[in-house]
Structure 1
């Protein structure tokens, strides 16, 4: 008998990330352009016939158009029930990506310990779920490109430069100094916040995700785990929780 495949789809501004799940296992991840989703006939037909869920940062009109095009995919919205409870003052403003990360980390944590998710992408987002399954909130700060962009936007003479993995502590040129300030500064920020969370919460399991996590040395302790697909896995768990 053919195994049923469920899709978890993350709609971003620039690209679409598609996770394929079979028997609760993530078997394939595709990162494709919007052009591929809308114009690539084999891919369109593959998505059309699959059930699943999608999360989006797009406008309401764009989401409605996507749902009309792929009616078997449910939209992750405020009407869905979450596997975790929320202790958050403004749940209506809470990003769906943060919720997916929290659920993904909580689901993977052994013995349901306290969980911290560090997502290093456009922004640095830290989110906590306590051992009793309650999402507590976290923090948001600018990511790599926002910091480089700000240095260029709000000064007269600093150039706009791109991120690099080759960073010294002491910059010997203006560009090297900018790299040191941005990359080493973010490393210190993340390490410092992790240390404070570890002081506040015992038995803390930490998950690191996000496309820019590769620029930082974060997996140095036994309780830190990298998972680049944590958002998709959390989105899938939310789908399962709502269709059971």
Structure 2
């Protein structure tokens, strides 16, 4: 049994796998809850991906697990990375790409992770990871307009905001939400103009929010990063 942990900016996500099958998953908002879970869960193998927390502070929580890995730029991957600065690459991004490779081998994939930031990552049909783009996530856009202006309020995220806002609140919601939706559509279109037979894959905390707003063939796989971490774990256990 494999235990994988994706420790992101906002939440810690845990996946339990039997080989490549995701059996269960959990989300933790509080560090103490995560610690208690890890200390009391038995598994054969463990891998950690963290963008915010020092791995050395988390590994003692899984001392009882024999085989452990930390996802870093030095860890062998099932894909070939062509990224010019691998030491600066977010580990969640490479995990998402490996998830795409495991689910759609031999396919050109654009992985769109809609989380704290929106990341776009391209994997070609030969298993080469090229890179992509990073832009502000939905909540970050709303927070920025509030933080960097004197009078604009912080507004809530809503579904299907009007195109034409009739109040300052709905104008902010229209700009951030419709703007991000159109950005994603536009990026997909740009890739489709350059790449034949492209498969667009959406994941991340806001994936379900945008899934219904994006038209055309797009695969929403919220657990993609967890699946990618598991594939990296299996790859390293086998080596």
TM-score, length basis structure 2: 0.92
SS in structure 2 of the partner of residue 46 of structure 1: coil
Partner of 1:119: 113
Partner of 2:4: 8
Partner of 2:74: 79
Partner of 1:198: 192
Do 2:10 and 2:116's aligned partners in 1 also have CA atoms closer than 8 Å?
Answer: no
Alpha-carbon distance in structure 1 between the residues aligned to 2:214 and 2:186: 14
Alpha-carbon distance in structure 2 between the residues aligned to 1:143 and 1:115: 21
Do 1:123 and 1:143's aligned partners in 2 also have CA atoms closer than 8 Å?
Answer: yes
Deviation of 1:38 after TM superposition, in Å, equals: 2.5
| Residue ranges of structure 2 left out of the alignment (5+ in a row) | none
Partner of 2:21: 25
Alpha-carbon distance in structure 2 between the residues aligned to 1:94 and 1:45: 32
| Residue ranges of structure 1 left out of the alignment (5+ in a row) | none
Deviation of 1:219 after TM superposition, in Å, equals: 5.2
Partner of 1:38: 35
Partner of 1:109: 104
> RMSD over aligned Cα, in angstroms?
1.6
Do 1:167 and 1:180's aligned partners in 2 also have CA atoms closer than 8 Å?
Answer: yes
Do 1:17 and 1:31's aligned partners in 2 also have CA atoms closer than 8 Å?
Answer: yes
Counterparts in 2 of 1:114 and 1:52: CA distance versus 1, 3 Å: same
Alignment of 1:1-244 (within 5 A): 5-32=1-28, 33-39=30-36, 44-47=39-42, 49-60=43-54, 63-71=55-63, 72=65, 73-109=68-104, 112-216=106-210, 217=212, 220-222=215-217, 224-244=218-238
Alpha-carbon distance in structure 1 between the residues aligned to 2:9 and 2:188: 29
SS in structure 1 of the partner of residue 166 of structure 2: coil
Q: Structure 1 residues 193-202 or 152-161, which shifts more?
A: 152-161
